[in-house]
Structure 1
Protein backbone atom coordinates (compact mmCIF):
# COMPACT_ATOMS: atom_id res chain seq x y z
CA UNK A 1 0.00 0.00 0.00
CA UNK A 2 1.40 3.37 -1.04
CA UNK A 3 1.31 6.15 1.54
CA UNK A 4 0.95 9.73 0.31
CA UNK A 5 2.72 12.38 2.40
CA UNK A 6 0.52 15.21 3.74
CA UNK A 7 0.63 18.38 1.67
CA UNK A 8 2.20 20.30 4.59
CA UNK A 9 5.14 17.85 4.67
CA UNK A 10 5.66 18.18 0.92
CA UNK A 11 5.63 21.96 1.16
CA UNK A 12 8.16 22.04 4.03
CA UNK A 13 10.59 19.79 2.15
CA UNK A 14 10.19 21.77 -1.07
CA UNK A 15 10.79 24.98 0.91
CA UNK A 16 13.90 23.50 2.56
CA UNK A 17 15.38 22.40 -0.77
CA UNK A 18 14.58 25.72 -2.40
CA UNK A 19 16.28 27.71 0.38
CA UNK A 20 19.33 25.44 0.23
CA UNK A 21 19.62 25.80 -3.53
CA UNK A 22 19.36 29.60 -3.38
CA UNK A 23 21.92 29.77 -0.54
CA UNK A 24 24.45 27.62 -2.35
CA UNK A 25 24.42 29.69 -5.53
CA UNK A 26 25.53 32.96 -3.85
CA UNK A 27 29.30 33.49 -3.54
CA UNK A 28 30.15 35.24 -0.25
CA UNK A 29 31.85 38.10 -2.10
CA UNK A 30 28.51 38.98 -3.72
CA UNK A 31 27.07 39.98 -0.33
CA UNK A 32 30.19 41.56 1.09
CA UNK A 33 31.57 38.55 3.01
CA UNK A 34 35.09 37.15 2.98
CA UNK A 35 35.44 33.68 1.45
CA UNK A 36 38.37 32.47 3.58
CA UNK A 37 40.62 29.49 2.89
CA UNK A 38 38.73 26.71 4.67
CA UNK A 39 35.30 27.17 3.09
CA UNK A 40 33.85 23.88 1.88
CA UNK A 41 30.23 24.93 1.46
CA UNK A 42 29.34 26.11 -2.05
CA UNK A 43 27.90 29.57 -1.72
CA UNK A 44 26.85 30.88 1.68
CA UNK A 45 26.84 29.03 4.98
CA UNK A 46 23.62 28.72 6.97
CA UNK A 47 24.96 30.99 9.71
CA UNK A 48 25.77 33.63 7.09
CA UNK A 49 22.22 33.59 5.75
CA UNK A 50 20.95 33.86 9.32
CA UNK A 51 23.26 36.81 9.94
CA UNK A 52 22.26 38.61 6.73
CA UNK A 53 18.54 38.17 7.43
CA UNK A 54 18.80 38.84 11.20
CA UNK A 55 17.26 35.50 12.27
CA UNK A 56 18.56 32.84 14.63
CA UNK A 57 20.99 30.27 13.24
CA UNK A 58 19.14 27.40 14.91
CA UNK A 59 15.79 28.59 13.58
CA UNK A 60 17.13 28.91 10.01
CA UNK A 61 18.77 25.49 10.27
CA UNK A 62 15.44 23.97 11.30
CA UNK A 63 13.82 25.66 8.29
CA UNK A 64 16.32 24.01 5.94
CA UNK A 65 15.74 20.71 7.75
CA UNK A 66 12.00 20.93 6.93
CA UNK A 67 11.01 20.97 10.58
CA UNK A 68 7.45 21.92 11.47
CA UNK A 69 7.95 25.53 12.60
CA UNK A 70 5.98 28.73 12.07
CA UNK A 71 7.41 31.38 9.77
CA UNK A 72 6.22 35.00 9.58
CA UNK A 73 5.90 37.19 6.48
CA UNK A 74 8.55 39.52 7.93
CA UNK A 75 11.11 36.71 8.26
CA UNK A 76 10.39 35.45 4.75
CA UNK A 77 10.80 38.98 3.44
CA UNK A 78 14.21 39.20 5.16
CA UNK A 79 15.27 35.82 3.74
CA UNK A 80 14.17 36.83 0.24
CA UNK A 81 16.36 39.92 0.45
CA UNK A 82 19.33 38.07 1.95
CA UNK A 83 19.17 35.39 -0.75
CA UNK A 84 18.83 37.99 -3.53
CA UNK A 85 15.61 36.42 -4.86
CA UNK A 86 14.06 37.87 -7.99
CA UNK A 87 10.31 38.48 -8.27
CA UNK A 88 9.46 34.95 -9.44
CA UNK A 89 11.63 33.33 -6.78
CA UNK A 90 10.14 35.53 -4.08
CA UNK A 91 6.61 34.55 -5.12
CA UNK A 92 7.65 30.89 -5.06
CA UNK A 93 9.15 31.27 -1.56
CA UNK A 94 5.96 32.71 -0.08
CA UNK A 95 3.81 30.16 -1.91
CA UNK A 96 5.81 27.24 -0.51
CA UNK A 97 5.62 28.70 2.99
CA UNK A 98 1.85 29.21 2.68
CA UNK A 99 2.20 32.85 3.72
CA UNK A 100 0.87 36.00 2.04
CA UNK A 101 3.60 38.28 0.72
CA UNK A 102 3.40 41.70 2.44
CA UNK A 103 5.11 43.33 -0.53
CA UNK A 104 4.14 41.40 -3.68
CA UNK A 105 5.82 42.27 -6.98
CA UNK A 106 4.22 45.34 -8.54
CA UNK A 107 4.22 43.89 -12.04
CA UNK A 108 2.09 40.96 -13.13
CA UNK A 109 3.50 38.81 -15.98
CA UNK A 110 0.05 38.63 -17.60
CA UNK A 111 -0.08 42.43 -17.95
CA UNK A 112 2.18 43.25 -20.87
CA UNK A 113 3.13 46.77 -22.02
CA UNK A 114 0.81 46.28 -25.01
CA UNK A 115 -2.09 45.43 -22.71
CA UNK A 116 -1.39 48.49 -20.58
CA UNK A 117 -1.39 50.61 -23.73
CA UNK A 118 -4.75 49.09 -24.68
CA UNK A 119 -6.19 50.04 -21.29
CA UNK A 120 -5.05 53.64 -21.82
CA UNK A 121 -6.52 53.71 -25.33
CA UNK A 122 -9.90 52.59 -23.99
CA UNK A 123 -10.24 55.71 -21.83
CA UNK A 124 -12.78 57.14 -21.08
CA UNK A 125 -14.33 53.66 -21.05
CA UNK A 126 -13.46 52.22 -17.61
CA UNK A 127 -11.30 49.13 -18.11
CA UNK A 128 -9.13 46.92 -15.95
CA UNK A 129 -7.43 43.52 -15.81
CA UNK A 130 -8.52 41.13 -13.06
CA UNK A 131 -7.74 37.53 -12.18
CA UNK A 132 -10.23 34.95 -10.96
CA UNK A 133 -9.45 35.87 -7.34
CA UNK A 134 -10.72 39.43 -8.02
CA UNK A 135 -7.22 40.96 -7.74
CA UNK A 136 -6.99 44.14 -9.83
CA UNK A 137 -3.79 43.72 -11.86
CA UNK A 138 -3.93 46.90 -13.96
CA UNK A 139 -6.45 49.65 -14.76
CA UNK A 140 -6.88 52.85 -16.72
CA UNK A 141 -7.54 56.35 -15.43
CA UNK A 142 -11.34 56.27 -15.62
CA UNK A 143 -11.68 52.93 -13.85
CA UNK A 144 -9.31 54.13 -11.13
CA UNK A 145 -11.85 56.89 -10.37
CA UNK A 146 -15.07 54.98 -11.01
CA UNK A 147 -15.68 53.54 -7.52
CA UNK A 148 -13.40 55.76 -5.47
CA UNK A 149 -9.71 56.63 -5.76
CA UNK A 150 -8.02 53.32 -6.53
CA UNK A 151 -4.58 54.94 -6.67
CA UNK A 152 -4.82 55.59 -2.93
CA UNK A 153 -5.65 51.97 -2.11
CA UNK A 154 -2.60 49.93 -1.01
CA UNK A 155 -1.62 47.44 -3.75
CA UNK A 156 -2.31 44.46 -1.47
CA UNK A 157 -5.92 45.69 -1.01
CA UNK A 158 -6.67 46.23 -4.71
CA UNK A 159 -9.11 43.36 -4.86
CA UNK A 160 -12.72 43.90 -5.94
CA UNK A 161 -14.17 41.45 -3.44
CA UNK A 162 -12.20 42.93 -0.55
CA UNK A 163 -13.17 46.50 -1.48
CA UNK A 164 -16.84 45.62 -1.99
CA UNK A 165 -17.08 44.33 1.57
CA UNK A 166 -14.71 46.72 3.37
CA UNK A 167 -14.36 50.04 1.52
CA UNK A 168 -16.90 52.79 2.22
CA UNK A 169 -16.47 54.49 -1.18
CA UNK A 170 -17.09 51.27 -3.10
CA UNK A 171 -20.09 50.40 -0.93
CA UNK A 172 -21.62 53.81 -1.65
CA UNK A 173 -20.91 53.80 -5.38
CA UNK A 174 -22.56 50.54 -6.47
CA UNK A 175 -26.32 50.75 -6.68
CA UNK A 176 -27.85 47.58 -5.16
CA UNK A 177 -24.58 46.70 -3.46
CA UNK A 178 -26.11 43.82 -1.39
CA UNK A 179 -26.99 41.93 -4.58
CA UNK A 180 -23.63 42.77 -6.15
CA UNK A 181 -21.77 41.44 -3.10
CA UNK A 182 -23.85 38.26 -3.10
CA UNK A 183 -23.02 37.60 -6.74
CA UNK A 184 -19.33 38.34 -6.26
CA UNK A 185 -19.09 35.94 -3.33
CA UNK A 186 -20.87 33.25 -5.36
CA UNK A 187 -18.46 33.72 -8.29
CA UNK A 188 -15.50 33.65 -5.91
CA UNK A 189 -16.71 30.36 -4.41
CA UNK A 190 -17.12 28.85 -7.88
CA UNK A 191 -13.61 29.94 -8.88
CA UNK A 192 -12.04 28.84 -5.58
CA UNK A 193 -13.01 25.21 -6.18
CA UNK A 194 -9.90 24.88 -8.32
CA UNK A 195 -7.62 26.68 -5.83
CA UNK A 196 -8.65 25.30 -2.44
CA UNK A 197 -5.10 24.68 -1.19
CA UNK A 198 -3.44 27.80 -2.60
CA UNK A 199 -2.19 30.21 0.10
CA UNK A 200 -3.27 33.44 -1.62
CA UNK A 201 -6.87 32.21 -1.95
CA UNK A 202 -7.01 30.94 1.63
CA UNK A 203 -5.49 34.17 2.93
CA UNK A 204 -8.05 36.36 1.14
CA UNK A 205 -10.90 34.20 2.42
CA UNK A 206 -9.57 34.36 5.99
CA UNK A 207 -9.19 38.15 5.82
CA UNK A 208 -12.75 38.59 4.56
CA UNK A 209 -14.22 36.26 7.18
CA UNK A 210 -12.28 37.99 9.96
CA UNK A 211 -13.18 41.53 8.83
CA UNK A 212 -16.69 41.51 7.38
CA UNK A 213 -19.84 40.13 9.09
CA UNK A 214 -21.67 40.72 5.80
CA UNK A 215 -19.22 38.47 3.97
CA UNK A 216 -19.56 35.73 6.58
CA UNK A 217 -23.34 35.80 6.20
CA UNK A 218 -23.22 35.65 2.38
CA UNK A 219 -20.44 33.02 2.33
CA UNK A 220 -22.44 30.72 4.57
CA UNK A 221 -25.08 30.37 1.82
CA UNK A 222 -22.72 28.30 -0.37
CA UNK A 223 -24.05 29.89 -3.56
CA UNK A 224 -22.13 29.48 -6.82
CA UNK A 225 -22.56 31.23 -10.19
CA UNK A 226 -20.42 31.50 -13.30
CA UNK A 227 -18.81 34.58 -14.82
CA UNK A 228 -20.74 36.78 -17.22
CA UNK A 229 -21.60 40.33 -18.25
CA UNK A 230 -24.19 42.48 -16.54
CA UNK A 231 -25.82 45.90 -16.66
CA UNK A 232 -24.83 48.08 -13.71
CA UNK A 233 -25.76 51.40 -12.19
CA UNK A 234 -22.90 53.18 -10.44
CA UNK A 235 -23.29 56.43 -8.55
CA UNK A 236 -19.97 58.22 -8.85
CA UNK A 237 -19.25 60.87 -6.23
CA UNK A 238 -17.96 63.36 -8.85
CA UNK A 239 -20.15 62.96 -11.96
CA UNK A 240 -23.35 61.29 -10.73
CA UNK A 241 -25.29 58.22 -11.87
CA UNK A 242 -23.76 56.05 -14.62
CA UNK A 243 -25.63 53.39 -16.63
CA UNK A 244 -23.09 50.79 -17.79
CA UNK A 245 -22.74 47.29 -19.18
CA UNK A 246 -19.56 45.37 -18.39
CA UNK A 247 -18.09 42.59 -20.48
CA UNK A 248 -15.25 40.07 -20.00
CA UNK A 249 -12.47 39.47 -22.51
CA UNK A 250 -10.51 36.41 -21.38
CA UNK A 251 -6.73 36.69 -21.68
CA UNK A 252 -6.24 32.94 -21.33
CA UNK A 253 -8.34 29.91 -20.36
CA UNK A 254 -11.72 30.72 -18.85
CA UNK A 255 -11.18 31.30 -15.15
CA UNK A 256 -7.84 33.03 -15.65
CA UNK A 257 -7.02 36.74 -16.05
CA UNK A 258 -9.47 38.81 -18.04
CA UNK A 259 -9.93 42.32 -19.36
CA UNK A 260 -13.15 43.93 -18.15
CA UNK A 261 -14.67 47.00 -19.79
CA UNK A 262 -17.63 49.18 -18.85
CA UNK A 263 -19.57 50.47 -21.86
CA UNK A 264 -21.99 53.42 -21.44
CA UNK A 265 -25.58 52.60 -22.31
CA UNK A 266 -26.67 56.18 -22.97
CA UNK A 267 -25.14 59.44 -24.16
CA UNK A 268 -25.38 61.11 -20.76
CA UNK A 269 -23.28 58.34 -19.21
CA UNK A 270 -20.69 58.66 -21.98
CA UNK A 271 -20.38 62.41 -21.34
CA UNK A 272 -20.05 61.83 -17.60
CA UNK A 273 -17.29 59.27 -18.15
CA UNK A 274 -15.37 61.83 -20.21
CA UNK A 275 -15.72 64.34 -17.38
CA UNK A 276 -14.54 61.72 -14.89
CA UNK A 277 -11.44 60.96 -16.97
CA UNK A 278 -10.60 64.65 -17.29
CA UNK A 279 -10.87 65.50 -13.58
CA UNK A 280 -7.77 66.94 -11.98
CA UNK A 281 -6.00 64.36 -9.76
CA UNK A 282 -6.36 66.79 -6.86
CA UNK A 283 -10.15 66.65 -7.28
CA UNK A 284 -10.49 62.89 -7.05
Structure 2
Protein backbone atom coordinates (compact mmCIF):
# COMPACT_ATOMS: atom_id res chain seq x y z
CA UNK A 1 0.00 0.00 0.00
CA UNK A 2 1.34 3.46 -0.93
CA UNK A 3 2.85 5.16 2.13
CA UNK A 4 1.57 8.63 1.27
CA UNK A 5 -1.98 7.30 0.78
CA UNK A 6 -1.79 5.56 4.17
CA UNK A 7 -0.70 8.78 5.87
CA UNK A 8 -3.43 10.73 4.04
CA UNK A 9 -6.06 8.24 5.25
CA UNK A 10 -4.92 8.54 8.88
CA UNK A 11 -4.73 12.32 8.61
CA UNK A 12 -8.23 12.74 7.15
CA UNK A 13 -9.78 10.48 9.79
CA UNK A 14 -8.05 12.37 12.59
CA UNK A 15 -9.17 15.75 11.28
CA UNK A 16 -12.72 14.55 10.64
CA UNK A 17 -12.99 13.46 14.27
CA UNK A 18 -11.94 16.93 15.43
CA UNK A 19 -14.66 18.88 13.57
CA UNK A 20 -17.97 19.22 15.38
CA UNK A 21 -21.26 19.28 13.46
CA UNK A 22 -21.97 22.74 14.85
CA UNK A 23 -18.71 24.07 13.41
CA UNK A 24 -19.96 23.34 9.87
CA UNK A 25 -23.57 24.39 10.43
CA UNK A 26 -25.09 20.95 11.03
CA UNK A 27 -27.53 20.05 13.74
CA UNK A 28 -26.47 17.31 16.13
CA UNK A 29 -29.36 14.86 16.47
CA UNK A 30 -28.25 12.89 19.49
CA UNK A 31 -25.30 10.85 20.61
CA UNK A 32 -22.70 9.73 18.07
CA UNK A 33 -20.62 6.59 18.16
CA UNK A 34 -17.51 8.53 17.19
CA UNK A 35 -16.58 12.19 17.75
CA UNK A 36 -16.68 14.75 14.99
CA UNK A 37 -18.26 14.41 11.58
CA UNK A 38 -19.52 11.29 9.86
CA UNK A 39 -18.08 10.32 6.49
CA UNK A 40 -21.37 11.02 4.76
CA UNK A 41 -21.41 14.53 6.23
CA UNK A 42 -17.92 15.26 4.92
CA UNK A 43 -18.99 13.88 1.55
CA UNK A 44 -22.11 16.07 1.40
CA UNK A 45 -20.38 19.25 2.52
CA UNK A 46 -17.44 18.75 0.14
CA UNK A 47 -19.45 17.77 -2.92
CA UNK A 48 -17.63 14.44 -3.14
CA UNK A 49 -19.32 11.07 -3.46
CA UNK A 50 -19.45 9.01 -0.27
CA UNK A 51 -17.75 6.09 -2.02
CA UNK A 52 -14.88 8.29 -3.22
CA UNK A 53 -14.31 9.83 0.20
CA UNK A 54 -14.50 6.43 1.90
CA UNK A 55 -11.84 5.18 -0.48
CA UNK A 56 -9.58 8.08 0.53
CA UNK A 57 -9.90 7.08 4.20
CA UNK A 58 -9.22 3.48 3.22
CA UNK A 59 -6.00 4.45 1.41
CA UNK A 60 -7.32 3.10 -1.91
CA UNK A 61 -5.32 3.67 -5.08
CA UNK A 62 -7.02 6.88 -6.17
CA UNK A 63 -5.71 10.41 -6.69
CA UNK A 64 -7.98 13.30 -5.70
CA UNK A 65 -7.96 16.43 -7.81
CA UNK A 66 -6.90 19.83 -6.53
CA UNK A 67 -10.58 20.81 -6.45
CA UNK A 68 -11.42 17.84 -4.20
CA UNK A 69 -8.51 18.58 -1.86
CA UNK A 70 -9.53 22.24 -1.61
CA UNK A 71 -13.13 21.26 -0.82
CA UNK A 72 -12.05 18.80 1.87
CA UNK A 73 -9.72 21.40 3.36
CA UNK A 74 -12.63 23.80 3.71
CA UNK A 75 -14.96 21.19 5.22
CA UNK A 76 -12.36 19.88 7.68
CA UNK A 77 -11.29 23.41 8.65
CA UNK A 78 -7.65 22.75 7.72
CA UNK A 79 -5.05 25.41 8.36
CA UNK A 80 -2.89 26.65 5.50
CA UNK A 81 -0.08 24.37 6.66
CA UNK A 82 -2.42 21.37 6.88
CA UNK A 83 -3.87 22.14 3.44
CA UNK A 84 -0.37 22.27 1.94
CA UNK A 85 0.48 19.03 3.72
CA UNK A 86 -2.45 17.20 2.10
CA UNK A 87 -1.50 18.60 -1.30
CA UNK A 88 2.01 17.23 -0.90
CA UNK A 89 0.67 13.84 0.14
CA UNK A 90 -1.38 13.57 -3.05
CA UNK A 91 1.53 14.74 -5.18
CA UNK A 92 0.39 18.26 -5.98
CA UNK A 93 2.59 21.34 -5.59
CA UNK A 94 5.05 19.10 -3.82
CA UNK A 95 8.78 19.26 -4.49
CA UNK A 96 10.66 15.98 -4.51
CA UNK A 97 11.81 15.17 -0.96
CA UNK A 98 15.50 15.91 -0.58
CA UNK A 99 17.86 13.13 0.39
CA UNK A 100 19.88 13.66 3.54
CA UNK A 101 23.35 15.04 2.85
CA UNK A 102 26.47 13.30 4.08
CA UNK A 103 28.18 16.31 5.63
CA UNK A 104 27.99 20.06 5.95
CA UNK A 105 29.76 21.85 3.07
CA UNK A 106 32.70 24.02 4.08
CA UNK A 107 31.02 27.24 2.93
CA UNK A 108 27.99 26.50 5.13
CA UNK A 109 30.22 25.89 8.15
CA UNK A 110 31.97 29.19 7.45
CA UNK A 111 28.58 30.91 7.45
CA UNK A 112 27.73 29.36 10.82
CA UNK A 113 31.08 30.45 12.25
CA UNK A 114 30.59 33.99 10.95
CA UNK A 115 27.45 34.40 13.05
CA UNK A 116 29.59 35.13 16.10
CA UNK A 117 27.67 35.03 19.38
CA UNK A 118 24.44 33.84 17.74
CA UNK A 119 23.92 30.09 18.38
CA UNK A 120 23.34 28.29 15.10
CA UNK A 121 23.32 24.76 13.70
CA UNK A 122 22.57 22.93 10.44
CA UNK A 123 19.98 20.19 9.97
CA UNK A 124 19.10 17.73 7.21
CA UNK A 125 15.56 17.08 5.87
CA UNK A 126 15.10 14.45 8.61
CA UNK A 127 16.41 16.88 11.24
CA UNK A 128 19.79 15.29 11.92
CA UNK A 129 22.23 17.95 13.14
CA UNK A 130 25.36 17.92 10.97
CA UNK A 131 27.13 21.10 12.03
CA UNK A 132 27.09 23.95 14.54
CA UNK A 133 29.11 26.96 15.63
CA UNK A 134 30.94 27.67 18.87
CA UNK A 135 28.04 29.77 20.18
CA UNK A 136 25.68 26.80 19.88
CA UNK A 137 28.24 24.56 21.58
CA UNK A 138 28.33 27.03 24.47
CA UNK A 139 24.53 27.17 24.49
CA UNK A 140 24.22 23.37 24.51
CA UNK A 141 27.64 21.92 25.42
CA UNK A 142 26.35 18.36 25.18
CA UNK A 143 25.99 18.48 21.39
CA UNK A 144 29.53 17.23 20.75
CA UNK A 145 29.09 14.30 23.15
CA UNK A 146 25.79 13.06 21.69
CA UNK A 147 26.21 9.86 19.62
CA UNK A 148 25.69 10.57 15.89
CA UNK A 149 22.62 8.32 15.72
CA UNK A 150 21.00 10.42 18.47
CA UNK A 151 22.08 13.80 17.12
CA UNK A 152 18.61 14.50 15.81
CA UNK A 153 16.75 17.65 16.81
CA UNK A 154 13.43 15.93 17.51
CA UNK A 155 15.11 13.13 19.45
CA UNK A 156 16.97 15.63 21.66
CA UNK A 157 13.87 17.74 22.28
CA UNK A 158 11.90 14.75 23.57
CA UNK A 159 14.58 12.67 25.30
CA UNK A 160 17.45 14.88 26.48
CA UNK A 161 16.85 16.40 29.91
CA UNK A 162 19.46 19.13 29.43
CA UNK A 163 17.79 20.25 26.20
CA UNK A 164 14.39 20.20 27.89
CA UNK A 165 15.71 22.26 30.81
CA UNK A 166 16.90 24.96 28.38
CA UNK A 167 13.33 25.56 27.16
CA UNK A 168 11.39 27.81 29.52
CA UNK A 169 8.18 26.70 27.79
CA UNK A 170 9.15 23.18 26.77
CA UNK A 171 5.57 21.90 26.55
CA UNK A 172 4.70 24.56 23.95
CA UNK A 173 8.01 24.43 22.08
CA UNK A 174 7.96 20.64 21.80
CA UNK A 175 4.49 20.68 20.22
CA UNK A 176 5.67 23.20 17.64
CA UNK A 177 8.73 21.09 16.81
CA UNK A 178 6.66 17.92 16.45
CA UNK A 179 4.04 19.51 14.18
CA UNK A 180 6.73 21.10 11.99
CA UNK A 181 8.63 17.82 11.72
CA UNK A 182 5.49 15.99 10.60
CA UNK A 183 4.71 18.66 8.02
CA UNK A 184 8.20 18.41 6.53
CA UNK A 185 8.58 14.62 6.57
CA UNK A 186 5.02 13.66 5.62
CA UNK A 187 5.80 12.32 2.10
CA UNK A 188 8.63 10.18 3.50
CA UNK A 189 7.06 9.31 6.83
CA UNK A 190 7.25 5.56 6.22
CA UNK A 191 10.74 5.52 4.76
CA UNK A 192 13.15 3.57 6.99
CA UNK A 193 15.17 6.48 8.49
CA UNK A 194 12.06 8.43 9.51
CA UNK A 195 10.07 5.35 10.52
CA UNK A 196 12.92 4.17 12.77
CA UNK A 197 13.21 7.58 14.41
CA UNK A 198 9.46 7.80 15.02
CA UNK A 199 9.33 4.30 16.50
CA UNK A 200 12.28 5.02 18.80
CA UNK A 201 10.58 8.19 20.00
CA UNK A 202 7.31 6.36 20.56
CA UNK A 203 9.13 3.91 22.80
CA UNK A 204 11.21 6.53 24.61
CA UNK A 205 8.77 9.41 25.18
CA UNK A 206 5.12 9.29 26.29
CA UNK A 207 4.86 13.00 25.40
CA UNK A 208 5.96 12.29 21.84
CA UNK A 209 3.65 9.29 21.59
CA UNK A 210 0.63 11.37 22.61
CA UNK A 211 1.56 14.29 20.39
CA UNK A 212 2.25 12.14 17.34
CA UNK A 213 -1.17 10.50 17.60
CA UNK A 214 -2.75 13.96 17.29
CA UNK A 215 -1.47 14.43 13.71
CA UNK A 216 -0.62 18.09 14.31
CA UNK A 217 0.86 19.88 11.30
CA UNK A 218 2.24 23.41 11.03
CA UNK A 219 4.75 25.40 9.02
CA UNK A 220 7.81 26.93 10.63
CA UNK A 221 7.46 30.61 11.46
CA UNK A 222 10.07 32.87 13.00
CA UNK A 223 9.19 33.72 16.58
CA UNK A 224 10.71 34.98 19.81
CA UNK A 225 11.46 32.28 22.36
CA UNK A 226 12.72 32.17 25.93
CA UNK A 227 15.43 29.92 27.30
CA UNK A 228 17.03 29.37 30.69
CA UNK A 229 20.75 28.66 30.47
CA UNK A 230 22.34 27.18 33.63
CA UNK A 231 25.39 29.45 33.40
CA UNK A 232 24.17 32.85 32.18
CA UNK A 233 20.47 32.66 33.05
CA UNK A 234 17.54 33.90 30.96
CA UNK A 235 17.96 34.27 27.20
CA UNK A 236 15.38 35.97 25.00
CA UNK A 237 16.11 34.80 21.45
CA UNK A 238 14.56 35.22 18.01
CA UNK A 239 14.33 31.86 16.22
CA UNK A 240 15.11 31.89 12.49
CA UNK A 241 15.49 29.20 9.84
CA UNK A 242 17.29 29.65 6.54
CA UNK A 243 17.53 27.38 3.49
CA UNK A 244 20.62 27.18 1.30
CA UNK A 245 19.62 27.58 -2.34
CA UNK A 246 22.71 25.72 -3.53
CA UNK A 247 22.22 22.94 -0.95
CA UNK A 248 18.41 22.55 -0.67
CA UNK A 249 18.75 19.57 1.66
CA UNK A 250 20.28 21.74 4.40
CA UNK A 251 18.63 24.32 6.64
CA UNK A 252 20.43 26.62 9.05
CA UNK A 253 18.72 27.32 12.38
CA UNK A 254 19.86 30.59 13.96
CA UNK A 255 19.06 32.22 17.30
CA UNK A 256 19.65 35.98 17.59
CA UNK A 257 19.42 38.16 20.68
CA UNK A 258 16.22 40.17 21.09
CA UNK A 259 17.27 43.83 21.54
CA UNK A 260 16.77 45.42 24.92
CA UNK A 261 16.68 42.16 26.88
CA UNK A 262 20.32 41.90 27.93
CA UNK A 263 20.59 38.68 25.93
CA UNK A 264 23.39 39.92 23.65
CA UNK A 265 25.62 40.48 26.67
CA UNK A 266 24.74 37.11 28.15
CA UNK A 267 25.48 35.35 24.83
CA UNK A 268 28.93 36.95 24.82
CA UNK A 269 29.44 35.89 28.45
CA UNK A 270 28.35 32.35 27.58
CA UNK A 271 31.38 31.95 25.32
CA UNK A 272 33.84 33.42 27.82
CA UNK A 273 36.14 31.32 30.01
CA UNK A 274 34.17 28.11 30.79
CA UNK A 275 35.66 28.07 34.29
CA UNK A 276 33.77 31.27 35.15
CA UNK A 277 30.59 29.38 36.02
CA UNK A 278 27.81 30.89 38.07
CA UNK A 279 25.85 29.08 40.82
CA UNK A 280 23.07 28.18 38.36
CA UNK A 281 25.39 25.66 36.76
CA UNK A 282 24.82 23.33 39.73
CA UNK A 283 21.19 22.82 38.67
CA UNK A 284 21.83 19.45 37.00
CA UNK A 285 19.69 16.46 36.22
CA UNK A 286 20.56 13.26 38.04
CA UNK A 287 22.11 10.58 35.89
CA UNK A 288 23.17 12.94 33.08
CA UNK A 289 26.59 14.52 32.42
CA UNK A 290 27.17 17.84 34.15
CA UNK A 291 27.28 21.06 32.15
CA UNK A 292 30.77 21.68 33.44
CA UNK A 293 31.89 18.24 32.29
CA UNK A 294 30.39 18.81 28.88
CA UNK A 295 32.13 22.15 28.57
CA UNK A 296 35.44 20.60 29.48
CA UNK A 297 34.82 17.88 26.89
CA UNK A 298 33.96 20.53 24.30
CA UNK A 299 37.29 22.30 24.94
CA UNK A 300 39.15 19.08 24.19
CA UNK A 301 37.45 18.66 20.82
CA UNK A 302 38.96 20.53 17.85
CA UNK A 303 35.52 21.11 16.35
CA UNK A 304 32.12 19.54 15.70
CA UNK A 305 32.21 16.00 14.41
CA UNK A 306 30.67 15.69 10.97
CA UNK A 307 28.81 12.38 11.00
CA UNK A 308 27.47 11.02 7.77
CA UNK A 309 23.70 10.91 7.73
CA UNK A 310 23.83 7.37 6.42
CA UNK A 311 25.62 6.33 9.58
CA UNK A 312 23.21 8.39 11.70
CA UNK A 313 20.19 6.59 10.28
CA UNK A 314 21.37 3.02 10.70
TM range (shorter): 0.5 to 0.7
Equivalent position of 1:76 in the other structure:
none
Alignment CA distance shift 1:148-1:173 (3 Å): farther
**Contact 1:126 / 1:140 at 8 angstroms: preserved in 2?**
yes
Unpaired stretches in structure 2, ≥5 consecutive residues = 4-99, 275-294, 299-314
- What is the aligned counterpart of 1:177 among 155, 170, 191? 170
Alignment CA distance shift 1:150-1:279 (3 Å): farther
Equivalent position of 2:268 in the other structure:
274
Unpaired stretches in structure 1, ≥5 consecutive residues = 8-106
Equivalent position of 1:202 in the other structure:
195
Calculate the aligned-residue CA RMSD, in Å.
Answer: 2.6
Equivalent position of 2:243 in the other structure:
250
Equivalent position of 2:212 in the other structure:
219
**Contact 1:231 / 1:245 at 8 angstroms: preserved in 2?**
yes
**Contact 1:148 / 1:170 at 8 angstroms: preserved in 2?**
no
Number of equivalenced pairs: 181
Distance 1:255 1:114 in 2: 14
Equivalent position of 1:131 in the other structure:
124
Distance 1:283 1:212 in 2: 27
**Contact 1:110 / 1:257 at 8 angstroms: preserved in 2?**
no
**Contact 1:191 / 1:255 at 8 angstroms: preserved in 2?**
no
Equivalent position of 2:52 in the other structure:
none
Equivalent position of 1:232 in the other structure:
225
What SS class does the counterpart of residue 124 from structure 1 fall into? coil
Q: TM-score, normalised by structure 2?
A: 0.53
Distance 2:138 2:174 in 1: 20
What SS class does the counterpart of residue 114 from structure 2 fall into? helix
Distance 1:183 1:258 in 2: 17
After superposition, residues 162-173 of structure 1 pair within 5 angstroms as 162-173=155-166
By relative contact order (CA 8 Å, sep 6+), the higher-ranking structure is 2
**Contact 1:126 / 1:146 at 8 angstroms: preserved in 2?**
yes
**Contact 2:238 / 2:257 at 8 angstroms: preserved in 1?**
yes
What SS class does the counterpart of residue 203 from structure 2 fall into? helix
Q: TM-score, normalised by structure 1?
A: 0.58
Provide Cα deviations, 1:253-272, integer angstroms capped at 9, x if missing partner.
Answer: 99842111111013510111
Distance 1:246 1:110 in 2: 23
Distance 2:172 2:141 in 1: 19
Alignment CA distance shift 1:180-1:141 (3 Å): same
Provide Cα deviations, 1:200-259, integer angstroms capped at 9, x if missing partner.
Answer: 111100100011111101111111001221111011111110000011111149984211
What SS class does the counterpart of residue 149 from structure 1 fall into? helix
Residue 109 of structure 1 deviates from its aligned partner by 4.3
